[in-house]
Amino acid sequence: MKRNMGTADRALRTIAALIIGYLWWTGTIGGTVGTGLAILAVVFLLTSAGGFCPLYRSLGLSTRGNGK
């Protein structure tokens, strides 16, 4: 897998995932919406850890810069 996510993109996804995780853990968000957001947070963490987003690849996008 060729990385297609830049540093800023990865940082924003990680921050968003941590915020969602905190809100879910404290019970601020719950139910179906909370579960959906918790799943999204896990996806954000996995994609930012690997630096690869399958959706970006299918759309031909990259936030990595300079085609690296």
Q: What is the pLDDT of residues 15-64, one digit of tens each?
A: 999 999 999 999 999 999 999 999 999 999 999 999 999 999 999 999 99
4-22: average pLDDT: 95
The total domain count for the chain is 1
| Direct distance between the N- and C-terminal alpha carbons of the chain, in angstroms, rounded to an integer | 12
Residue with tokens 């968003």: 16
Predicted pLDDT of residue 67: 52
Answer whether residue 2 is part of any domain.
no
Q: What is the DSSP string of 2-59?
A: -----HHHHHHHHHHHHHHHHHHHTTSS-HHHHHHHHHHHHHHHHHHHHT--HHHHHH
Specify if 35 maps to a domain: yes
Is 45 within a domain? yes
Q: Which domain holds residue 49?
A: 7-59
Residue 1 is predicted with a pLDDT of: 79
Q: Output the pLDDT for position 53.
A: 93
Q: Per the domain annotation, does 66 fall within a domain?
A: no
pTM: predicted TM-score of the whole model, two decimal places: 0.85
* Residue 64 domain-assigned (yes or no): no
